[in-house]
Structure 1
């Protein structure tokens, strides 16, 4: 299993906007449409990555826990579906249904959104504040497939709590590690 790390976009970067089709609803969403009153979590995932499969239960719990506290949540898949047909929009719809993903799961066919966010891996997490400035980018926690560390979401949960409760941000942020985005 090849591992790729996040590129660590500079903190304070303004969230790149987008208009992408949601594979759950067939609606088209922009960043503005999904942003939360206190912040927005953008997650790059895909259907086939073992790192995503490993982290998904905690990702869904985080989405459920924090959406009610004013955090908008959105997932984006940017993989090349010609080379990886299991990541096609139709399979994204099925994946979301099977895994009870009830937040928007958008398809970035052109890969322009992934490039704008400097996304490198799946999962890759970007937390923006209520002014759309990048507040956190990095890992969910130290758990990885087969490393024996249980999922906790501790790094991402700590960042979200820091944002919501206006605490001092820990500038030390570990990159996420996962499968590389499958570029065209």
Structure 2
């Protein structure tokens, strides 16, 4: 596992469109179909990364807490499944069910979507406003496996709350950290 920080995509960047298979129901879904009325959180995750496993429970809580407020969450896995078969679509479907993912879990087979978002690690978070303009690209919170900081989602939740309340989101955003995306 290589500890990798996220690339800080410039704020204001328009969300790159996609049309990917949701492994939960094997249906292709686009960004426009999945976006929220008040915001959209795009998360790059995978099944096996210890950093994602560490925050899975909070990702589920966060998605459930904000869906009723009009912010939809979308998870995408872009890892190379030839070398990391545990991140393949069949395993993604099982993983989503076992973790009660309330959000779609999309498979980026060509890795084109991860490249379009300049995603670098898992987890990697991109929060967009209702016009799909980037307002936050940073960490969930300061917790990492083994650092004894509780997982609260405080940084991402603060950004989501500010978005909902039409408040300025702090532009000094700390990058997410995790395993590097497994490129082909």
TM-score of the superposed pair, with normalisation by structure 2: 0.99
SS of the aligned residue for 1:138 comes to: coil
What is the CA RMSD across the aligned residues, in angstroms?
0.6
Q: 2:146 aligned with 1:146, yes or no? A: yes
The count of aligned residue pairs is 184
SS of the aligned residue for 1:55 comes to: helix
Deviations 1:86-126 (A, max 9, x none): 00000000100111112100000000000000000000000
SS of the aligned residue for 2:58 comes to: helix
Contiguous gaps of at least 5 residues in structure 1? none
Contiguous gaps of at least 5 residues in structure 2? none
**Any runs of at least 4 consecutive aligned residues in structure 1 with deviations exceeding 3 A, and if so which?**
none
* 1:44-83 alignment, distance < 5 Å: 44-83=44-83
Give the structure 2 partner of residue 91 of structure 1: 91
Give the structure 1 partner of residue 33 of structure 2: 33
Q: Distance in 2 between matches of 1:133 and 1:51?
A: 26
Q: 2:171 aligned with 1:174, yes or no? A: no
Q: Distance in 1 between matches of 2:120 and 2:48?
A: 16
Cα displacement (A) at 1:168: 1.4
Q: Distance in 2 between matches of 1:25 and 1:68?
A: 22
Give the structure 2 partner of residue 9 of structure 1: 9
